Every structure is written in C-alpha cells, then in structure tokens.
Amino acid sequence: MRFVVVSGMSGGGKSIALKLLEDIGFYCVDNLPVPLIDKFFEWISVPGSEITKVALGLDVRADQSFASVEKVLETLKKNGYSYELLFMDAADNVLLKRYKESRRMHPLSPDGRIEEGIRRERAVLQSVRKKADYVIDTSRLLTRELKAELDRIFVQNEEYNSLMITVMSFGFKYGIPADADLVFDVRFLPNPFYIDELKHLTGNDKPVQDYVMGYDEAGIFLDKLTDMIQFLIPNYIKEGKYQLVVGIGCTGGKHRSVTLANELYKRLKNQGNYGLTIRHRDEKAGI
C-alpha cells in the first residue's frame, strides 16, 4: 500500500495535484475531519484490499487546528503506518494573484485581507513543509508540467530533490525578471534583428538558431554556463532551495536569448533529479 498525504498552501495546487494523482490510479480523499484520519488509515490498510495507492488531502481550515492534524500524522507513524508527504507551494505574490482571480476568501483571512491569510498560513505550515518528502513549487508550472513532475515521483519512482529550475529568456528593454536568481546577458552576440530575413522570426525558428549558434562565442558561452549551472544545482539542493530561475537576456528577448535558453534547456534536460521548465517571457512582445 502506498500512502501519500498531500498538503500545502491554499492556492498552491493541492486540488489539481489530487486530480492528477487520481488519473494515475490513486484513490483520493480530500479534507477528512481530523478525528477520522486514523480511522481512514486503518480501514484502507485492511489486508486483501483492492486499493493499493491512496492520496489524502489535508490543508489549513478555519474550523480546526492544523496542530491536531500534525499530531495525528505523528501518531500514525508511531503506529507503523508509513506515508509520503507531498507539499504544494507557490510564491506569495502568485498565491495572491490566484486568489484575486478566483475571488475566493482565504480560510485564515476572515477580514478579507488575503495577504494576512497567506502570512498566517505559511507560519502554520512551516514545520510541515520542512518534514515534506517532496515540495513542488507551482509558481511557474503549467498543469501538464505538474503532471510530468508527479509522474516522475509516483509512477517512474525517480529520486526527487524538490528543486524546480526555470530557464527564462527575456528582453532587457522590458526589465529583468523580478524573480530571477541568476541573470546572464547575451547581448555580446551579433543581433539577428538587423538581418532582414531574420528580423521577424524568433529563437524558436531554425534560421535564427543557426545564425546565433554559428558564432563560436555562443557555443563557448553555453559550455561555460552549463558547467556552472551543473556545479550549482547540487549545492542549491543541499541548501534546501526549491526554485531556481535562470534568466538569459538580450535586447528584445526574441532572438539570441530565446536561442540560448532553448539550448541550455536541452543540455540540462534529463541530466539530474530536478524539475525543469522553460519560459520565453518576451518572445511575442511587440508583435
């Protein structure tokens, strides 16, 4: 029997994660009252049960103390019930945006101030997050990318270190991404914008890719950048970092940065036990 307890910040993607787990064969139950949690574990663990994979969703609610939830989970482990803890998270500004878009009230914000509710909830869940076997930050994840991460953990059973790397191209003329951890400037390379037949294409088009990568400097830069990122990844994991955004910028964010971001993504893909996504922030800006 495989038990997965799914918790996390409200708006962090717990409900979507449960639906995706259900799609891969998990029997999913959400928000059981605290007194029923241990009874549920007992019932589902009956020998001979046809159910072999179970996911239980637990989150902060205004009508119950989460400390009591933690106590029940600790008791379950003492009684020999093993489970994996999946924590769904997102940056505070992303959570705030999601709440405003959905027009929902935060469970810990009776006065309507979402920011205060997020602050309280993060404080309540701090210890649970530290104990989690897997932390998935959905700040920049699409649903299909979240599905791929859950598949890696619960279907392919790969080792997972909870680090999500986003490779992001951008244009300096539109500003440096506020959440970028590392920023690299590739404006030292010749600009395809000044080539008539390439001007209206992007780094996702082969003619632009061939032009940019045709310069030795592009390959050398990419080699050095890949080597540095691969050195940093295990050290970031060791320090408990969950989100790494690598920004690659050129003037307009359409040609050079897109090309090199794509190339870096290819080199990092399937090279380690971390999540990896790519974003082209300004590829279509001004079009």
What pLDDT is recorded for position 63?
54
In this structure, how many other beta carbons lie within 10 angstroms of the beta carbon of residue 112?
9
What pLDDT is recorded for position 99?
87
DSSP, collapsed to helix, strand or coil, labels residue 212 as helix
Domain edges within the chain: 2-154, 164-280
Sheet-wide strand order for 275-280:
182-185, 243-250, 164-171, 275-280
Q: What is the pLDDT of residues 108-152, one digit of tens each?
A: 776 778 888 899 899 999 999 989 999 999 998 999 999 989 998
Q: Is the pTM above the cut of 0.95?
A: no
Contacts of 91-94 with C-beta under 8 Å, sequence gap 24+, read: 91/137, 91/139, 91/179, 91/243, 92/118, 92/119, 92/122, 94/11, 94/138, 94/139
Mean pLDDT by 10 residues, the chain (287 residues): 92 95 94 87 82 90 74 88 93 90 78 85 91 92 91 84 91 95 97 95 97 97 97 90 94 97 95 88 80
In this structure, how many other beta carbons lie within 10 angstroms of the beta carbon of residue 38?
16
CATH number of 2-154: 3.40.50.300
What pLDDT is recorded for position 8?
94
